[in-house]
Amino acid sequence: MASSAADPLRHALRLDALEQQLRPCLPFPLSEHCRLANIAGDRLVFVVDSPVWNARLRLASAELVEMARSLGLGVNSVTARTSVHPLFPTAQAGPPTQGPSPTARQALRVALAMLEESVAAESSIVKQGPHTGAKS
Q: 35-74 pLDDT, tens per residue?
A: 999 999 999 999 998 899 999 999 999 999 999 999 999 9
Residue 10 has pLDDT above 80, yes or no: yes
Residue 78 DSSP code: E
Which range, 57-61, 82-86, 114-118, has the best average confidence (pLDDT)? 57-61
Q: Is 94 left (phi over 0), alpha (psi -120 to 50) or beta?
A: left
Q: How sure is the predictor about 135, in pLDDT bands with cuts at 50, 70 and 90?
A: low
Q: What values do phi and psi take at 15, rounded to 5?
A: -65, -40
Are the C-beta atoms of 23 and 31 separated by less than 8 Å? yes
User: Sheet containing 43-48: which strands, arranged edge to edge?
Assistant: 34-40, 43-48, 77-82
Residue 14 has pLDDT above 80, yes or no: yes
Average pLDDT, the chain: 83
Residue 72 DSSP code: T
Q: What values do phi and psi take at 132, rounded to 5?
A: -90, -15
pTM value surpassing 0.85: no
Could you give the CA distance from residue 120 to residue 133 in angstroms, rounded to a whole number?
Answer: 22
Are the C-beta atoms of 66 and 81 separated by less than 8 Å? no
Q: Give how far the C-alpha of residue 24 lies from the chain's centroid of Cα atoms, to the nearest Å.
A: 22
- Residue 19's pLDDT is 92
